[in-house]
Structure 1
Amino acid sequence: MINVLFICLGNICRSPMAEAIFRQLTEEEGIADQFHVDSAGIGDWHVGLPPHEGTRKVLDQKNISYQGMKARQVVKQDWETFDYIIAMDEQNIHDLETIRKEVEGVTVAKLMDYVEKAEEENVPDPYFTKNFDYTYHLVSKGCSALLSEIKQKRGV
Protein backbone atom coordinates (compact mmCIF):
# COMPACT_ATOMS: atom_id res chain seq x y z
CA MET A 1 0.00 0.00 0.00
CA ILE A 2 1.31 3.43 -0.98
CA ASN A 3 0.15 6.15 1.42
CA VAL A 4 -0.19 9.73 0.12
CA LEU A 5 -1.19 12.73 2.26
CA PHE A 6 -1.93 16.15 0.75
CA ILE A 7 -1.46 19.22 2.96
CA CYS A 8 -2.70 22.80 2.77
CA LEU A 9 -3.46 25.51 5.30
CA GLY A 10 -7.00 24.64 6.43
CA ASN A 11 -7.85 21.40 4.57
CA ILE A 12 -10.93 22.77 2.85
CA CYS A 13 -9.65 24.01 -0.55
CA ARG A 14 -6.42 22.76 -2.09
CA SER A 15 -5.59 19.55 -0.23
CA PRO A 16 -9.08 18.00 -0.45
CA MET A 17 -9.10 18.97 -4.13
CA ALA A 18 -5.78 17.14 -4.56
CA GLU A 19 -7.05 14.15 -2.57
CA ALA A 20 -10.16 13.88 -4.78
CA ILE A 21 -8.24 14.32 -8.04
CA PHE A 22 -5.53 11.84 -7.05
CA ARG A 23 -8.12 9.24 -6.02
CA GLN A 24 -9.92 9.72 -9.33
CA LEU A 25 -6.67 9.24 -11.26
CA THR A 26 -5.86 6.00 -9.43
CA GLU A 27 -9.40 4.74 -10.02
CA GLU A 28 -9.21 5.55 -13.73
CA GLU A 29 -5.96 3.59 -13.96
CA GLY A 30 -7.35 0.65 -12.00
CA ILE A 31 -4.75 0.97 -9.23
CA ALA A 32 -6.81 2.60 -6.47
CA ASP A 33 -6.51 -0.54 -4.34
CA GLN A 34 -2.76 0.07 -4.10
CA PHE A 35 -3.17 3.54 -2.55
CA HIS A 36 -4.37 5.11 0.67
CA VAL A 37 -4.98 8.81 -0.04
CA ASP A 38 -5.90 11.47 2.52
CA SER A 39 -5.57 15.19 3.16
CA ALA A 40 -5.05 17.40 6.20
CA GLY A 41 -4.51 21.01 7.16
CA ILE A 42 -1.84 22.83 9.10
CA GLY A 43 -4.47 24.66 11.17
CA ASP A 44 -7.51 23.42 13.04
CA TRP A 45 -9.99 26.14 12.00
CA HIS A 46 -12.12 23.92 9.77
CA VAL A 47 -11.81 20.48 11.43
CA GLY A 48 -14.88 18.37 10.66
CA LEU A 49 -16.12 20.57 7.83
CA PRO A 50 -16.59 19.42 4.22
CA PRO A 51 -14.50 20.94 1.41
CA HIS A 52 -15.08 24.63 0.60
CA GLU A 53 -18.02 25.42 -1.65
CA GLY A 54 -15.62 26.56 -4.42
CA THR A 55 -13.73 23.27 -4.27
CA ARG A 56 -16.98 21.29 -4.33
CA LYS A 57 -18.23 23.31 -7.30
CA VAL A 58 -15.14 22.72 -9.46
CA LEU A 59 -15.01 19.02 -8.52
CA ASP A 60 -18.74 18.67 -9.34
CA GLN A 61 -18.10 20.27 -12.75
CA LYS A 62 -15.38 17.69 -13.41
CA ASN A 63 -17.50 14.83 -12.00
CA ILE A 64 -14.92 14.04 -9.30
CA SER A 65 -16.18 12.66 -5.98
CA TYR A 66 -15.35 14.26 -2.64
CA GLN A 67 -17.94 12.20 -0.77
CA GLY A 68 -17.21 11.72 2.91
CA MET A 69 -14.30 14.17 3.03
CA LYS A 70 -14.02 16.20 6.21
CA ALA A 71 -11.22 18.55 7.21
CA ARG A 72 -8.69 17.37 9.77
CA GLN A 73 -5.45 18.73 11.17
CA VAL A 74 -2.12 17.09 10.41
CA VAL A 75 -0.69 15.14 13.36
CA LYS A 76 2.80 13.82 14.14
CA GLN A 77 1.61 10.25 13.61
CA ASP A 78 1.07 11.06 9.93
CA TRP A 79 4.83 10.65 9.43
CA GLU A 80 4.48 7.03 10.56
CA THR A 81 1.50 6.39 8.26
CA PHE A 82 2.31 8.16 5.00
CA ASP A 83 5.05 7.58 2.43
CA TYR A 84 4.42 10.90 0.69
CA ILE A 85 3.40 14.12 2.43
CA ILE A 86 2.69 16.59 -0.34
CA ALA A 87 2.21 20.26 0.51
CA MET A 88 0.65 22.97 -1.59
CA ASP A 89 3.14 25.75 -0.86
CA GLU A 90 6.42 26.73 0.75
CA GLN A 91 4.73 27.96 3.94
CA ASN A 92 3.09 24.53 4.37
CA ILE A 93 6.54 22.92 4.06
CA HIS A 94 7.93 25.28 6.70
CA ASP A 95 4.99 24.58 9.03
CA LEU A 96 5.34 20.82 8.50
CA GLU A 97 9.00 20.96 9.44
CA THR A 98 8.08 22.42 12.83
CA ILE A 99 5.99 19.35 13.67
CA ARG A 100 7.89 16.73 11.68
CA LYS A 101 9.02 13.57 13.38
CA GLU A 102 12.34 12.12 12.37
CA VAL A 103 11.12 9.24 10.27
CA GLU A 104 13.18 7.71 7.49
CA GLY A 105 11.68 7.12 4.08
CA VAL A 106 8.97 9.79 4.14
CA THR A 107 8.98 12.08 1.12
CA VAL A 108 7.96 15.64 2.00
CA ALA A 109 7.65 17.88 -1.06
CA LYS A 110 5.54 20.53 -2.73
CA LEU A 111 3.04 19.32 -5.32
CA MET A 112 4.45 21.65 -7.98
CA ASP A 113 7.91 20.09 -7.49
CA TYR A 114 6.64 17.18 -9.59
CA VAL A 115 5.55 19.32 -12.55
CA GLU A 116 8.13 19.99 -15.25
CA LYS A 117 8.23 23.68 -16.15
CA ALA A 118 5.41 24.48 -13.71
CA GLU A 119 3.92 27.91 -14.11
CA GLU A 120 3.88 28.31 -10.31
CA GLU A 121 6.16 27.05 -7.54
CA ASN A 122 3.28 27.10 -5.06
CA VAL A 123 -0.42 26.41 -5.53
CA PRO A 124 -2.14 29.72 -4.69
CA ASP A 125 -4.84 29.39 -2.01
CA PRO A 126 -8.26 29.92 -3.64
CA TYR A 127 -9.71 30.69 -0.20
CA PHE A 128 -7.99 34.05 -0.71
CA THR A 129 -7.67 34.31 -4.53
CA LYS A 130 -11.20 32.99 -5.24
CA ASN A 131 -9.79 31.37 -8.40
CA PHE A 132 -10.76 27.73 -7.88
CA ASP A 133 -10.48 26.95 -11.60
CA TYR A 134 -6.81 27.96 -11.69
CA THR A 135 -6.17 25.98 -8.52
CA TYR A 136 -7.84 22.96 -10.14
CA HIS A 137 -5.62 23.40 -13.22
CA LEU A 138 -2.44 23.40 -11.12
CA VAL A 139 -3.50 20.64 -8.72
CA SER A 140 -4.60 18.43 -11.59
CA LYS A 141 -1.22 18.79 -13.31
CA GLY A 142 0.57 18.15 -10.04
CA CYS A 143 -1.44 15.06 -9.19
CA SER A 144 -0.86 13.55 -12.64
CA ALA A 145 2.88 14.20 -12.38
CA LEU A 146 3.04 12.84 -8.82
CA LEU A 147 1.20 9.67 -9.81
CA SER A 148 3.58 9.16 -12.76
CA GLU A 149 6.56 9.59 -10.44
CA ILE A 150 5.17 7.12 -7.88
CA LYS A 151 4.33 4.56 -10.57
CA GLN A 152 7.83 4.83 -11.99
CA LYS A 153 9.60 4.61 -8.61
CA ARG A 154 7.34 1.96 -7.09
CA GLY A 155 6.67 -0.11 -10.20
CA VAL A 156 2.91 0.26 -9.90
Structure 2
Amino acid sequence: MFVCWGNICRSPMAERVAQSYAERDGLTGVEFTSAATSSEELGEPMDQRAARTLSRHGYAADDHVAHRIDRAELDQADLVIAMEGLHVERLHRLDPDAEIALLTDFDPAAQPGSGVPDPWYGSESGFLDTLSAIEAAMPGIIDRARSLAAARAAQ
Protein backbone atom coordinates (compact mmCIF):
# COMPACT_ATOMS: atom_id res chain seq x y z
CA MET A 1 0.00 0.00 0.00
CA PHE A 2 1.48 3.31 -1.14
CA VAL A 3 0.16 6.40 0.64
CA CYS A 4 0.37 10.12 -0.10
CA TRP A 5 -1.76 13.18 0.60
CA GLY A 6 -4.48 13.05 -2.05
CA ASN A 7 -3.89 9.75 -3.88
CA ILE A 8 -3.75 11.47 -7.26
CA CYS A 9 0.02 11.84 -7.87
CA ARG A 10 2.75 10.08 -5.91
CA SER A 11 0.97 7.04 -4.48
CA PRO A 12 -0.83 5.97 -7.67
CA MET A 13 2.41 6.50 -9.60
CA ALA A 14 4.21 4.21 -7.14
CA GLU A 15 1.40 1.65 -7.37
CA ARG A 16 1.65 1.49 -11.17
CA VAL A 17 5.44 1.32 -11.18
CA ALA A 18 5.37 -1.46 -8.56
CA GLN A 19 2.87 -3.43 -10.64
CA SER A 20 5.10 -3.10 -13.67
CA TYR A 21 8.26 -4.15 -11.81
CA ALA A 22 6.45 -7.13 -10.24
CA GLU A 23 5.24 -8.31 -13.64
CA ARG A 24 8.68 -7.84 -15.15
CA ASP A 25 10.36 -9.71 -12.29
CA GLY A 26 7.82 -12.55 -12.19
CA LEU A 27 6.50 -11.67 -8.74
CA THR A 28 3.00 -13.12 -8.47
CA GLY A 29 0.43 -13.23 -5.69
CA VAL A 30 1.11 -9.66 -4.60
CA GLU A 31 -1.38 -6.82 -4.94
CA PHE A 32 -0.21 -3.22 -4.96
CA THR A 33 -2.66 -0.48 -4.01
CA SER A 34 -2.59 3.17 -3.04
CA ALA A 35 -4.55 5.56 -0.86
CA ALA A 36 -4.69 9.08 0.55
CA THR A 37 -4.35 10.41 4.07
CA SER A 38 -6.74 13.28 3.29
CA SER A 39 -10.23 13.44 1.86
CA GLU A 40 -9.56 16.39 -0.48
CA GLU A 41 -9.35 14.41 -3.72
CA LEU A 42 -11.81 11.56 -3.04
CA GLY A 43 -13.22 10.13 -6.25
CA GLU A 44 -10.83 12.05 -8.49
CA PRO A 45 -8.75 10.42 -11.24
CA MET A 46 -4.98 10.45 -11.31
CA ASP A 47 -3.53 13.89 -11.98
CA GLN A 48 -3.13 14.27 -15.75
CA ARG A 49 0.52 15.23 -15.40
CA ALA A 50 1.20 12.07 -13.38
CA ALA A 51 -0.66 9.96 -15.94
CA ARG A 52 1.27 11.52 -18.84
CA THR A 53 4.59 10.96 -17.09
CA LEU A 54 3.75 7.31 -16.44
CA SER A 55 2.54 6.74 -20.00
CA ARG A 56 5.60 8.37 -21.53
CA HIS A 57 7.79 5.97 -19.57
CA GLY A 58 5.89 2.81 -20.40
CA TYR A 59 3.68 2.44 -17.32
CA ALA A 60 -0.09 1.99 -17.16
CA ALA A 61 -1.99 5.09 -16.10
CA ASP A 62 -5.66 4.18 -16.45
CA ASP A 63 -8.67 3.61 -14.21
CA HIS A 64 -7.53 5.23 -10.98
CA VAL A 65 -9.97 6.69 -8.46
CA ALA A 66 -8.58 8.39 -5.36
CA HIS A 67 -9.67 7.11 -1.98
CA ARG A 68 -8.73 7.65 1.65
CA ILE A 69 -7.18 4.87 3.71
CA ASP A 70 -9.09 3.63 6.74
CA ARG A 71 -8.03 1.60 9.76
CA ALA A 72 -9.18 -1.73 8.30
CA GLU A 73 -7.23 -1.19 5.08
CA LEU A 74 -4.16 -0.11 7.04
CA ASP A 75 -4.37 -3.21 9.25
CA GLN A 76 -4.77 -5.54 6.26
CA ALA A 77 -1.74 -4.25 4.36
CA ASP A 78 1.45 -6.29 4.67
CA LEU A 79 3.59 -3.28 3.78
CA VAL A 80 2.63 0.39 4.02
CA ILE A 81 4.88 2.90 2.28
CA ALA A 82 4.34 6.62 2.80
CA MET A 83 5.74 9.39 0.64
CA GLU A 84 6.74 11.74 3.47
CA GLY A 85 6.81 12.06 7.24
CA LEU A 86 3.47 13.88 7.40
CA HIS A 87 1.79 10.80 5.96
CA VAL A 88 3.48 8.57 8.52
CA GLU A 89 2.10 10.81 11.29
CA ARG A 90 -1.42 10.71 9.85
CA LEU A 91 -1.28 6.93 9.44
CA HIS A 92 -0.18 6.57 13.08
CA ARG A 93 -3.32 8.47 14.08
CA LEU A 94 -5.29 5.57 12.60
CA ASP A 95 -3.06 2.96 14.24
CA PRO A 96 -0.28 4.09 16.56
CA ASP A 97 1.38 0.67 16.32
CA ALA A 98 1.32 0.40 12.52
CA GLU A 99 4.64 -0.26 10.85
CA ILE A 100 5.08 2.42 8.18
CA ALA A 101 8.07 2.89 5.89
CA LEU A 102 9.01 5.87 3.75
CA LEU A 103 9.47 5.20 0.06
CA THR A 104 12.98 6.59 0.30
CA ASP A 105 13.84 3.94 2.95
CA PHE A 106 14.10 1.54 0.00
CA ASP A 107 16.53 3.73 -1.96
CA PRO A 108 20.10 3.17 -0.73
CA ALA A 109 21.17 6.50 -2.23
CA ALA A 110 18.42 8.54 -0.48
CA GLN A 111 19.08 10.50 2.67
CA PRO A 112 17.53 8.67 5.64
CA GLY A 113 14.18 10.14 6.60
CA SER A 114 13.81 12.11 3.40
CA GLY A 115 10.51 12.09 1.61
CA VAL A 116 9.31 12.38 -1.94
CA PRO A 117 8.32 16.01 -2.62
CA ASP A 118 4.77 16.61 -3.82
CA PRO A 119 4.91 17.42 -7.54
CA TRP A 120 1.34 18.74 -7.62
CA TYR A 121 2.38 22.30 -6.82
CA GLY A 122 4.99 22.63 -9.55
CA SER A 123 5.54 22.03 -13.23
CA GLU A 124 5.37 18.76 -15.10
CA SER A 125 9.11 18.24 -14.55
CA GLY A 126 8.36 17.58 -10.88
CA PHE A 127 6.47 14.46 -11.91
CA LEU A 128 9.57 13.17 -13.64
CA ASP A 129 11.53 13.74 -10.42
CA THR A 130 8.83 11.81 -8.55
CA LEU A 131 9.03 8.96 -11.04
CA SER A 132 12.81 8.86 -10.67
CA ALA A 133 12.51 8.65 -6.87
CA ILE A 134 9.96 5.85 -7.17
CA GLU A 135 12.08 3.89 -9.65
CA ALA A 136 15.17 4.26 -7.44
CA ALA A 137 13.30 2.69 -4.52
CA MET A 138 11.56 -0.02 -6.52
CA PRO A 139 14.21 -2.79 -6.41
CA GLY A 140 14.15 -2.66 -2.60
CA ILE A 141 10.35 -2.57 -2.52
CA ILE A 142 10.06 -5.56 -4.84
CA ASP A 143 12.59 -7.47 -2.73
CA ARG A 144 10.56 -6.75 0.41
CA ALA A 145 7.30 -7.72 -1.33
CA ARG A 146 8.89 -10.97 -2.51
CA SER A 147 10.02 -11.76 1.07
CA LEU A 148 6.58 -11.00 2.49
CA ALA A 149 4.89 -13.15 -0.15
CA ALA A 150 7.26 -16.06 0.58
CA ALA A 151 6.65 -15.77 4.32
CA ARG A 152 2.88 -15.72 3.77
CA ALA A 153 3.08 -18.78 1.49
CA ALA A 154 5.13 -20.66 4.11
CA GLN A 155 2.46 -20.17 6.80
Shift of 1:143: 2.2
1:113 matched to 2:80:
no
1:17 matched to 2:13:
yes
Structure 1: distance between partners of 2:73 and 2:148: 21
User: 1:45-64 maps to which residues of 2 (within 5 A)?
Assistant: 45-64=40-59
Q: Higher strand share goes to which structure?
A: 1
Residue 140 (structure 2) aligns with: 145
1:28 matched to 2:54:
no
Aligned length: 148
State the secondary structure of the residue aligned to 1:34.
coil
- The answer as to whether partners of 1:76 and 1:101 remain within 8 angstroms in 2 is no
What are the ranges of 5 or more consecutive residues in structure 2 without an aligned counterpart?
none
Q: Which amino acid aligns with 2:23?
A: E
- The answer as to whether partners of 1:8 and 1:87 remain within 8 angstroms in 2 is yes
Shift of 1:146: 1.1
Residue 43 (structure 1) aligns with: 38
State the secondary structure of the residue aligned to 1:140.
helix
- Alignment TM-score, normalising by the size of structure 2: 0.87
- Residue by residue over 1:38-89, the C-alpha shift from the partner in whole angstroms, topping out at 9 and shown as x without a partner, is 1000111111111101100110101211222110001111123211110000
Shift of 1:101: 6.1
CA-based RMSD of the aligned residues comes to 1.9
- Alignment TM-score, normalising by the size of structure 1: 0.86
- Poorly superposed stretches of 4+, deviation over 6 Å: none
